């Protein structure tokens, strides 16, 4: 049975290493193929700004999964701002893989505009001010590590009196959607295209899900 506990500063190095492969095999695996800068967007700000909302799962003393929560999304740097900062800091515009990502993004945004279709965007809704990201390494999936992490986060939401929590995954990430549904999240809103990313060559769609205590 995996151990679940709050993040401690001494976990940071091992957690960063875990984050580089914990998504493997899922459509959410990688955005632009550069794990350092992806961690700078989806991991580091949570460890720096809200470490008490980060939980880790351990098996035989090693980290196998983590959940990064945020109680008040409106007060947290936006995903777009975090991406812009990472693009600057890591000089991503000079990286060939990033150019592919930007080219695909531009193409996807243009074709969506032609079809008058909305593309993926953030949730700003007072009903669900909190949000989360989570990943469990492949060998630890189906072991209860994910359930343990989510239960600790849901406890924290209850303890802090949060009105609710949202998350954004991909329609194509069927395992994640089923897991979140089992934990009490429900699908919410439409499922717009996520520009720039592909999985086995296919376009991917955003699935917003919400939880209310």
Question: Residues in the site for ligand COA, rule: CB under 6 A?
Answer: 23, 26, 28, 134-136, 141-142, 146, 169, 173-176, 178-179, 182
Least distance (Å) from ligand COA to the CB of residue 141? 3
Helices (H), the chain: 12-19, 35-42, 44-49, 79-89, 96-114, 145-159, 174-182
Least distance (Å) from ligand COA to the CB of residue 156? 17
- Report how far apart, in Å, the C-alpha atoms of 41 and of each of 67, 84, 111, 144, 167 are: 14, 9, 26, 27, 16
Q: Which is nearer to ligand COA, 112 or 177 (CB)?
A: 177
Least distance (Å) from ligand COA to the CB of residue 57? 10
Strand 3-6 relative to strand 202-211: parallel, antiparallel, unpaired?
Answer: unpaired
User: Using alpha carbons only, what angle is made at residue 118 by residues 113 and 120, rounded to the nearest 5 degrees?
Assistant: 120
Q: Which is nearer to ligand COA, 93 or 139 (CB)?
A: 139
Q: Which is nearer to ligand COA, 111 or 183 (CB)?
A: 183
Least distance (Å) from ligand COA to the CB of residue 28? 4
| Distance, CA of 30 to CA of 52 (rounded, Å) | 26
Q: Which is nearer to ligand COA, 17 or 107 (CB)?
A: 17
- Report how far apart, in Å, the C-alpha atoms of 156 and of each of 11, 126, 165, 213 are: 20, 18, 11, 11
Least distance (Å) from ligand COA to the CB of residue 110? 26
Q: Which is nearer to ligand COA, 162 or 208 (CB)?
A: 208
């Amino acid at each position: 049975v995996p151990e679940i506990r709050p993040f401690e500063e001494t976990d940071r190095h091992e957690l960063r290493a875990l984050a580089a492969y914990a998504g493997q095999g899922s459509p959410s695996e990688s955005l632009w193929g550069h794990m350092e800068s992806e961690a700078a967007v989806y991991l580091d700000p949570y460890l720096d700004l809200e470490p008490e909302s980060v939980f880790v799962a351990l098996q035989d003393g090693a980290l196998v999964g983590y959940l990064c929560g945020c109680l008040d999304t409106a007060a947290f740097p936006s995903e777009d701002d975090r991406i812009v900062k990472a693009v600057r800091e890591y000089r991503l515009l000079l990286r060939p893989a990033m150019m592919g990502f930007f080219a695909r993004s531009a193409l996807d945004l243009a074709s969506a505009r032609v079809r008058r279709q909305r593309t993926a965007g953030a949730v700003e809704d007072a009903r669900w001010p909190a949000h989360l990201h989570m990943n469990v390494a492949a060998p630890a999936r189906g072991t209860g590590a994910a359930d343990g992490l989510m239960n600790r986060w849901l406890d924290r939401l209850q303890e802090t009196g949060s009105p609710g929590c949202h998350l954004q995954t991909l329609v194509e990430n069927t395992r994640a959607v089923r897991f979140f549904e089992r934990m009490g999240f429900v699908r919410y809103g439409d499922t717009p295209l996520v520009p720039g990313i592909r999985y086995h060559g296919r376009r991917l769609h955003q699935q917003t899900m919400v939880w209310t205590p």
